[in-house]
A = this chain, B = another copy of it.
């Protein structure tokens, strides 16, 4: 019961020249489900990545970082569900490296040109022999128009596949962007991780691509939260195949650079928001917008305090305009010199609090009306500056507890 999230529209999932995707059933954890995806990149495709800040990062994340740091271009990504290969120590690294070597041999490239991604159970050994046995079938399946099937194959307990695309014109040349993502809690009961893969045929310098990956992640995947639990495996990959016939983009300070960034951001934000809309047990999609801060950082800090408060989240689930809970979260968000007398609070267009207290004209029936909606904007005005920031989250329902209290099965 994802919140206002439809299955992907296949006609918007544009093939990206130079990027082929192949899917198979490798039986990583259970038989009969597509659980192995390869993304094959022609020589000349640039790749940039952003990874979890969790110090307990999984073996595949460690290896991705190391392989990206080497000069040889990335030629393939290998993604399995069913097992996160996290909390597995040195043995986990060896298994992940083994699967990279196996795929590299088939592609006649170096193992360091392969990036591995895993999502699933934590602290279990990766069944690398089953993954390697599935490689031939995945390679045989590789096509440029396989984005929808790949989106489905990287799902774990997601209820809806997540894939979006967009086309724009750069110098009159049509440029395509297509992306997929997965994740429904930052860590699922067993099924860990948020993954995002976005590809474009745009022509862009590799240095700028890395900058873009960071900036896009910062404004999309790093602005969503379901439960505040940062996974061991989170990864966001940005690929540019440089096939489109426009002048190469070397800076964002150009019309082309701005247009490309805006289009990529739109896709990245849709993918990130889809994760919240499909959040574990989510019944509401909530935008938390904090304004009037001294810095964007402090606005984000306040927004996350609200987004992570179990009391605020259960109030949204109950459609209960118990808005003192939001003020309390603002109060404990950690801004030492915050003056409550300057704070205003809005639910959509309804002014709830002003000067730190209930607004004289606020009627509970107005708050109630907004709280019943499936999409809600909480707006907090701190009254101490001009900075702003926004995060997206969902409510906390009985189903969240049920999903996460289920014994691993």
Contact = CB atoms under 8 A, between A and B. Distances in A.
A320 B229 contact: no
A interface residue count range (under 10 / 10 to 19 / 20 to 34 / 35 or more): 35 or more
Contact of A87 (B123, B228, B309, B358): B358
A185 B185 CA distance: 24
Copies of this chain present in the complex amount to 2
Nearest to A229: B311
A261 interface: no
Interface string A46-84: 000000011111000000000000000000000000001
Contact of A229 (B91, B309, B397): B309
A324 B404 contact: no
Interface string A114-154: 00000001110000000000000000000000000000000
Interface in A182-237: 185, 187, 189-190, 192, 227-232
A232 B335 CA distance: 15
Contacts of A310: 227-229, 310, 396, 400, 404
A408 interface: yes
B91 A328 contact: no
A76 to B, nearest CB: 27
Contacts of A398: 398, 401-402, 405
A55 B308 contact: no
Contacts of A192: 324, 328
B86 A324 contact: yes
Contacts of A343: 56
A314 B405 contact: yes
Contacts of A91: 357
A404 B123 contact: no
